[in-house]
Amino acid sequence: MKSYEEIKKEELKNTNKYSGKELNRYLNFNIKALKGMRFFLNHGVLWTISILTFIAISGIFSWLGFYNFDVIQFLFIVITHFIYWILKGKRDALKLIDDTLPELNITIKVLEKIKEERKNG
């Protein structure tokens, strides 16, 4: 994970080429995008993406003619996903959140600080 100073140095280098409206647009867009990422980086969203992946893969196998997709197959997919989530998925999701969220929060703070500094002086 990068430190506050490393992220600030990198963002100052990136924002150095912008001025005025371009800088405001760059900072506002990145702050909003990172806050959106932070909002979607949670347990429920990762679970939903995971089950949709299970359903999509099963749909592809059904479309290719390996089996017919019906209620029993759907229940099998849900139960299989539940077992996967309990055994591996939840742990991986929490690891991803724990690895990503702190750096995301630091980057948002850095961008807001740069915006404030450029605005004041």
Give the span between the Cα atoms of 82 and 8, in whole angstroms.
Answer: 41
> Mean pLDDT in the chain?
87
The predicted model gives 48-58 an average pLDDT of 87
> Do 2 and 72 form a contact (C-beta atoms < 8 A)?
no
Q: 17 Cβ partners below 8 Å, 6+ apart?
A: none
Give yes or no for residue 121 having a pLDDT over 70.
no
**Rounded mean pLDDT of 22-29?**
88
Q: Does this model's pTM top 0.75? A: no
94-120 pLDDT tens trace:
998 999 999 999 999 999 998 888 878
